[in-house]
Structures are given as structure tokens and as C-alpha cells.
Structure 1
Amino acid sequence: MDWKGAYAHRAGAMRASEIRELLKLLDQPDVLSFAGGIPDPTLFPTEAAREAYGAVLGEPGVGPLSLQYSISEGYVPLRRWIVAHMASRGVVCDEENIVITSGSQQGLDYLGKLLISPGDSAYVTRPTYLGALQAFNPYEPRYADLAFGEGAPTPAQCREAALAAGGRPALAYVVPDFANPTGETLSREDRLRLLEHVSALGVPLVEDAAYAALRYAGADIASCLALDIARVGDIDHSRVIYCGSFSKTIAPGLRVGWICAARDLVQKVVLTKQAADLHSATINQMVMHRLAEAIYDEQVKKIIGVYAARRDALLAALAKFMPEGVSWTAPEGGMFVWVTLPANIDGAELLAESLRDERVAFVPGGAFFFDGSGANTLRLNFSLPSEAVINEGIARLARLIARKNNQFRAA
């Protein structure tokens, strides 16, 4: 069988995730890894999950249903919990505005399928979340900068460029809180400017809120969805599609996320889910509901305490060890710090040398740019490594960067 000739055209846009490949290094105990954007499994509510599974399976009339097919929209009590959770974040909605997805990553895939036709323009930041690019790539978009405000192309100019390229403006995508990969947060003023921009452009705004609960410093900022509802009156008139997740707060392995948006959009997502996998695992939704009701606030408080200390350790190590010419972000939350290297250092080449000589892993920044730029950048994760590993790993990485800088100067 000639499989190369059998694939649809869109399969050519599928690429392996550099991050998923780097996660394999976690099995090598001598590698100090800042690569994976993953939670610390020692903080998972393992005992509470064990009890929740036992309670669900042991409850008469509920246990068998937990193993049965279910509705595509998702487990109703869990959706009701999410409605209350969204209300606490300033978003008034009901169950009909919520659909459960198998992690927010599945939500991104469904939105790409629903909103992007080949050649359409998808507006993303540079850099942006690699998983979003992977989710959108099979639908063959033309990527363009999500730039707004002074000096940026006007919405009219963006529309003209999209039409000239043979498509139309399709969607905008943003991670406004503690972004993956930079750790940066959009101010309230910038969120309002962004909403004005996408409104004039006439596209939906996909708000990836995977890290929104992980704030360690500073004041909370209203979500783009909450701000848009304040502008237009109610959620069913909003153009913002909010993608939420329990992966960073409770546990990623249950694969439970959600989309909160206008009913019309949610109904289309439900049809997409019916065709794709019928519904997310019933028992996992039931267990997640019990965990969210019982421990959500306590769990978030626990992980914030640990991750905040690790963020502080990483920022302190960078300040202590990094040579002149290296800069980095100082996030108020999330899981990542973004490092900019001297222009003559390539992040991908640095990773190869780092693994060989210093046994330190990170993600080269170029993977997060749709246009192949950003070669002299890298992403560091602080949620998984201990403070001791952070200190030692950054000392080793800084030593390597200093050596490379000296080599360039000598040449």
C-alpha cells in the first residue's frame, strides 16, 4: 500500500509536537527538564479521585449509568457546576451555553473544524500556543498576526489581505492570562481593544483560559468573554468562545474541559462532537463533578502556593546565573517563563548542545511561531521541576549560554 498517496491533502499540515517529543525525556532521570507544560503529579488529588470513582461506581442506579453512553452536551450536574463557576468570573450563562470536551485541546480542534475553511485567515499572536497551531493546521488556514492598536493593520486592511489571499477572516485566537508560551497577561485595556478589533473584523475570538485560575500576584482581570458580555448585553450576542479546562487545576488525565459560548455556536460544537466521539467519558465527568464540588477551591489554593514558590525560584535563578544579553518575562501566574537569547544563538541548536553537554531540556521558541521566526527564544516551565532542580538546571543552562557567547566573541 502506498500510504503517501492515500492521505487527504490536509494530512500534509499535520506535524508532531516538539513538546510531546521532549516529554519522552522525562523518563531519563539525569535530564533536568523545563520542557513539558504539565502539572506536578504529586499535587493531584489522588485519594479524593479514588474515593470519587468508588462512590460513583458503588451508588445504586448511578454506577451502571457511569459506564453507559451519555448525551453529547455533557453530564448535566457538571455543566451546572461550570455555570456557577463562570458566574463567579462575571459570565452569566446557563447549561445550554456549555458543552463538555475531552480537554480544551479537543475544543480547539472542533472550533478549527467549524470555523476555518482552506485559505481562510486565522489571527494568532507571535508566539502562540503550539497546540492551537496543531489543532488549526489540518483545516489549512492562512495565519496572520493578531495585532491591534497603534501601528497595527486596521480591521479593514486585515480583511482586504484575507480576501486577496483567497479566503476570508475566520477566527482570532488568544491566551489572555499567563499565556503559553510567554507567561504574559493582556491588560484590561488591551482586552477591550482586542474586542473592538475582532468586532470590526467580524470574527469570533477564541479565548483559551487554560491557566486563568493560576494567578500568584496582581489583581484578577475580567475574561474577554465577561468584558464582551458587558459590551453586547448577554452571552448569546457575544463573539467570544471561552475554552476552559480542569487539566491545570485538578488533573489532566481525566481529559475534561469545556466550551462556554453563545447557544448557536455550542449547538454546532455538539453536532461536531456527536460525529467525532459521541461524548466525553461519562464516568470521568461524574468524577470530575464530585471533585469540583468537593475540593476545587482547596486544590487551586494548594497548587498556587507551590507553583508561586517555583516561579520565584526560577526568576531568582535567571537573575543570578544568566549572562548579559539574555532577557525573560516575569509572569504573574501560569506555568511558563519566556527567555530571549542574544540574536546569534539559535534555540534549537542550543537544545541539542544542552542535552548533550549539560543534560538540561527546554522548548526552543521557534516552535511557537507560525512563520518560522523566534529562533533566539525558548520556553521554560516551572510547574514540574523542584526548586532544587530549577536552581541547578538554570545554572547549567546559563553556563552553556555564556560559553556560546564567548565563542561568538572569539570568532
Structure 2
Amino acid sequence: MDSGAGRGGGSNPKGDDNFQLESGGYHHDSSNHHHHHRGTVKTITLVFVVVGVTCLVLNQSAYPTQLFQSWSYSSSSSEESRRGNDAAHLIMQNNVSSPLFKSSHEENSLENTLKRAAMADKKTVIITTLNAAWTEPNSIFDLFLESFRIGNQTQKLLKHVVVVAFDQKAYSRCLQLRLHCYALTTTGVDFSGEAFFMSQDYLKMMWRRIDFLRTVLEMGYDFVFTDADVMWLRDPFQRFYPDADFQIACDHYWYNSTDLNNSPNGGFNYVKSNNRTIQFYKFWYAGKDYFPGKHDQDVLNMIKLDPFISQIGLDIRFLDTAYFGGFCEPSKDLDLVITMHANCCIGLGNKIHDIKMVIDDWKNYISSLPTPTTSWTVPRICG
């Protein structure tokens, strides 16, 4: 567990070396007294500068949100921001490090995987992530795939799913099932076990995911990202907003798709590839350093109100839980439900128990048509 005691800004005064070297080296004076006097003055000046810069850094680091905003904020025009040419854009390009896909072979492998999985528009894919703990027999991944097979008009979507595997076992399981598979490994990190909520492995896995999705956007692909504990019961594309850049499911929804007070859930979102979303994902990923110990969803809640979001012109929409429900706020009507997410639930065993109930509820609903029961029996353990 992270103590969360890290400073929010992490800024360091980088000008000290330049200050010391600006004279271009020692100038030999004929008077030792004058030479000593000038050295004393420079030393005193240097002390004042260092003390001043240190105070500024300490003052800013006490307010990480303000520092994050000042780092990102630019006074460029709205039109420039929409084209991604504002100062914040340039700052982020220079400062956000993305160590993924260093070899051309790996990059081509991802490109080929996305190309094979793309829908008729040749640019939209469905992405989920997977590790060994979620691939055990009768585990969450099996239920995830079953939901596509028993859902209404969802069977056809399964061929567009890209499974991003965090370890060899998950990758092998994906290949065995003849799905579109991509191996995303991290040197020195083992993601094969259950990543307990807010553990160090959990946080690394979540931020690795955000950076990977940014790469997909940069390659020109739109995507629906879905956690494997989201059950797909109907085709979601019929309920997405056609013009939004970034739309996301909610833990709690306040009856307005544009209300930034909605509580987003990063386990299900639909994102279109453009300059705005690419810069947004860079900005989001940078938040892991400015808000240490926070996971991606917490950081999203912090940055959704940042001036940078409106500055780049990002159109955010929140998805109604009446259609895109979860255990936090279950959809109330099986006639409307599209996806059901095992959110607000910690532990694989608990998730599996209640997800199986979701599957059973859906099967009972389908078999009882045209006069079905439209209410859920979940959540039982979760929620």
C-alpha cells in the first residue's frame, strides 16, 4: 500500500548549474582582494537564489492540484487548443514519458492485431486486459465471453475484441480460444497474480493500461475499453453519443450526460482517436506522478474539472447507469440494460459469485420472453 505521502508537484530547480557556470569559468584578476570579494558576492547571491527557489518549490508542492493545473494550463486561444497546438500540448509532449513499444517488431505486431480485429470502419476495436488470475477455469474471463454469446446482438462483436495479456499464461489462454491477442509485458514486473485493489501491482497495472490505450489512439484506432468483469448483454454502439470524444460509464450517474459531477468508472469507455483524446490520455497518464498513490479513476475525477480539458475542447459524456449499469448502481430494468459491471466489489470470489447471478438473471429474462421478469437479483455479495 502506498502511504500517499509523496509531494504532488515533484518539481526541481534545474537552473542552479546554469547559474554557476554563466561566468564561463574563472577570470584571473591581478588583485586577490577583488577576486575574493567578487567570489563572496557570488556565493551570497547563489545562497539567496537557492533559498528562494526552494521556498517556491515547497510552497507549490503543498498544493499538488494547483501545481498540476499550472503545469498544464496555457493562455492560447480556443481554436488553437482544439487543434492540440497550445502550450500545454507542447509541455506534455516534452515531459510525458511513454516507454512502450520500443522495437519496430512489437509495434508492427500491435498494428497487425488491431487491423485484424477492426470493425467494418477499419478503425474501431474492443479492448480488454487480462492476467493469469482472471483466466482460471470458470473464472471471470469465461463469464465475460459467455455474456457475448448469450447477449442480444453481441455475438458478432466478439470477433472485434482484442485481449491485451499482461503475462504469458493469459496470452496462452487467449491464443487457445482463438481470439485476437496481444502480449503487453513489463520488464521486472509480474502481473500474473491477483492484483489486490490499491496494491502496488494494481496501480502499476492500471497505469500501464492507460499508457497502452494512449498508444492505440496514436495509431489512429477508436476503441471501446471494457474490463473483463463487464457483462455485455446488448450492443452498446446503438446507445453511444455519436459526436463525443470520450464517453465513460459511471459508478453513480446524476441524470445528465454532460454533468462533470458524475462519478466515472474507468472500466468501460468509448474513445475516438483524435488530437484531443491523445492529449487527454497523455495528461491523464501524467497524473500518476502528480498524484502519487492514486489510481487512474481517482486521478480522472481530479482532472475532469481542470482548465486543460476545456482548453483542448474535449467533449466528455457520461453514460447513464439505466443502460450501462453496475453493482454500485444497478440498472433497474432488464428491458434497457446494455452492460452490467461488477464494480463496487473487491475480491475475485465475490465478483464471480455475483456475475454468475447476472448471467442467470439474463438467461431467465431471455427464456421468459415475451412476458419476462425485468428485475435483478444482484448484487448479493457485492455492492
Is this a same-fold pair by TM over 0.5? Answer: no
Which structure carries more relative contact order (alpha carbon 8 Å, separation 6+)? 1
The structure number with the bigger radius of gyration is 2
TM-score by length of structure 2 reads: 0.29
Higher helix proportion (structure 1 or 2):
1
TM-score by length of structure 1 reads: 0.28
